[in-house]
Structure 1
Amino acid sequence: MSAFQLHNLTENVPDSLAGGVVAIGNFDGVHRGHQVVLGRALNEARKAGVPALALSFEPHPRTLFKPQSPVFRLTAEQDKAGIVEAFGMDGLLTLPFTKELAGTEAEAFVTDILRGRAAASHLVTGFNFHFGKGRAGSPEFLQEVGQRDGFGVTTVEAEEEGGDAISSSRIRRQLGAGDVAAAADLLGYRWRVGGTVVKGAQLGRTLGYPTANLALAENCRLAHGIYAVRLRRADGSLHDGVASFGRRPTFDNGAPLLETFVFDFSDDLYGERIEVSLFEHLRGEEKFDSAEALVEQMDRDSEAARKALAAATPLSNLDERLSFDRNV
């Protein structure tokens, strides 16, 4: 197959992606349950010698219907594309989720979008996937239309952990509690965020701890605290570090930032897109009586992060590619 492709499904897919096996879903987080759906699509595609594609929606449907309370996104579109590519898929199709799309009849959604614009030869969905006006479309509906019109449909059952289905909502709750290890178990990889490094107040430099700062989405509900992390640069190289996510209560109690101190590193990262994988929650955010007391704690945090990262092992092949493969 050719290089991984991103395609906005407002237009027909290019010829290089036509006839593919298409896995459909929101795929927010691309967790282990999603990966079963993607894996089935990948297997079907490889057997047939056609592209393996994921089809997702932007924005998240819940954000469209409840803009006053936008959903905490586990993976922004660009981050999702990187994970889907690392999983082995050939492309990500993004379908703009609008009120017009939500009002599309189920039959038209299949005929015009899935079979038309996406040119799918086979569809793979989770057991609870519904679509079209009034959510009338269902896996059973897809099976019926597939038998009638001559295309394949595969439905994947829920993936469970601890007796409950793996879901993006579970993972959001775990991240909100700072339990990045439990979230990683359900994701099958260390949760990661991406973005462009911005300038902060540069307080870290005065303390001997210069940081690469990311302004995360306003609806990010990650617990404020200190984390052992691994940072991937735009050139693909990986670097260990320790990060603080929060409002810097010792200094300004300002807008939340993810501030990453990279070990044994002196390059300038301003303006560069990076990805940060969170390995372990070390402690909650605290206010210190002095800068000196804060630096002493940061020294301890750095040592704890080094130990945690040195002991870490990949959770899966996907985790290895995302957070352990140091080949540039």
Structure 2
Amino acid sequence: MELLRGIHNLNAQHRGCVLSIGNFDGIHLGHKAVLSRLVLEAERLQVAATVMIFEPQPAELFSGDNAPARLSRLRDKFVQLAKQGVDRLLCVSFTHKFANISAEDFIEDLLIKKLDVKFLVVGDDFHFGYQRQGDFKLLQAAGQKYGFAVVDTQSLLQQQQRISSSRIRDFLALGELQQAASMLGRKYSITGRVGHGQKLGRTIGVPTANLLLKRRVSPVCGVFVVSILGINGKTYQGVANIGQRPTVQGIRQQLEVHLFDFNADLYGLQLEVVLEKKLRDEVRFDSFTQLKIQIDKDIQLAREWHQLHADKS
């Protein structure tokens, strides 16, 4: 799948496509229904199946740390979209300048002149352009004028209970991993590159791989049973803490994962940490000794969980 970072990288070869626009946060089953239709239309019209997303997500630009927790980073979206058969991902830099483009210019300059859209799928509540003046009706009128079909995602998702990123986010915040997985179509996971931490875990015999969470707010927090992918094609078992680590005066959100029966250098590796079960919330302990006692309990519970589910995974 081709990744285009910015509108300025569009050229003549990118004209003529079927297009869907949105955050696609999490790439859940609802998104997959849209993408399936998109790919079918692309094959029918013999053009590229293209997805347009924004970085940062609009709410993150306008609301900052008060924006909803993000389910997936750009890299995660790229991986999942590629699995769905999308040909091209256009990542638009969402700035205040871009947000101030008029709805009419968005349609004429981007959708028509630069992309020559043949088929468009957007959310029925999709708004765009200066002060969000563009809406689905305006796109329908443009489709009639320029000759492309416009459909909304609601027409593609004939479901009793609509799947949404916000509902998945709520389930994750409550530690309801199974409900979140049922909407995602897969277990929720976090990916990231292993960096250097404080190395405090080594002092108590519990070395951890530290993944810096490159997002404003994490949708999950606490201690989890996890499976770890990305090491020599194998799946490893472990336990992870996601949060600010209050006992050691942590100041930023971080994912610390302890791999069972593993002793090798992981620095620089891109890992995927799959959340299997939430054990408890993150709490502050009065001493490092108390923290060590609780970590030992967490490890024992996580090992027992993995042993119990070894034949079911």
For residue 108 of structure 1, the aligned residue among 82, 105, 110 is 105
Q: Which moved more, 1:228-237 or 1:296-305?
A: 228-237
User: Which of residues 157, 162, 167 is equivalent to 1:170?
Assistant: 167
Structure 1 residue aligned with 2:56: 59
Change (3 A) 1:125 1:312: farther
Query: CA contact under 8 A between 1:280 and 1:308: conserved in structure 2?
Result: no
**CA–CA separation in structure 1 for the residues paired with 2:8 and 2:164:** 30
Native 8 Å contact 1:51 1:90 kept in 2: yes
SS at match of 1:121: strand
Matched, 1:91 2:88: yes
Partner of 1:254: 250
What's the Cα RMSD here? 2.7
Residue in 1 that maps onto 2:22: 25
| Paired letter, 1:100 | K
Mapping of residues 1-328 of structure 1, within 5 Å: 4-14=1-11, 17-67=14-64, 69-157=66-154, 159=157, 164-217=161-214, 219-233=216-230, 237-248=234-245, 251-255=247-251, 256-286=253-283, 287=285, 290=290, 293-307=293-307, 310=310
Q: Is the 8 A contact 2:223 2:280 kept in 1?
A: yes
C-alpha displacement at 1:164, in angstroms? 4.5
Check whether the contact 1:26–1:56 (CA below 8 A) recurs between aligned residues: yes
TM-score normalized with structure 1 length: 0.82
Query: Which has the higher mean CA deviation after the structures are superposed, 236-245 or 60-69?
Result: 236-245
Give deviations 1:107-161, integer Å, cap 9, x for gaps.
2211111223334322111222121223232223222211221123222217487
SS of equivalent to 2:10: coil
Q: State the alpha-carbon separation in 1 of the partners of residues 63 and 70 from structure 2.
A: 14
The structural deviation recorded for 1:309 is: 5.6
Amino acid at match of 1:301: L
- Answer whether contact 2:121 2:151 (CA < 8 A) is retained: yes
Q: Distance in 1 between matches of 2:3 and 2:171?
A: 30
Q: Is the 8 A contact 2:2 2:89 kept in 1?
A: yes
Q: Give 1:210 deviation, angstroms.
A: 1.9
Contact 1:23 1:54 in 2 (8 A): yes
**What residue ranges of structure 1 are gaps of 5+ in the alignment?**
314-328
Q: 1:312 and 1:96, CA in 2 relative to 1: closer, same or farther beyond 3 A?
A: farther
Between 179-188 and 11-20, the greater mean CA deviation after superposition: 11-20
Q: CA deviation at 1:17?
A: 4.1
Q: Residues 126 and 68 from structure 1, CA distance in 2 versus in 1: closer, same or farther, beyond 3 angstroms?
A: closer
Shift, 1:279, TM fit: 2.4
Does structure 1 conserve the Cα–Cα contact (< 8 Å) formed by 2:70 and 2:219?
no
Q: Which moved more, 1:208-217 or 1:9-18?
A: 9-18
For 1:196 and 1:299, the matched residues in 2 are separated by 23
Deviations along 1:220-243, one digit per CA (max 9) or x if unpaired, are 244432212232327765433321
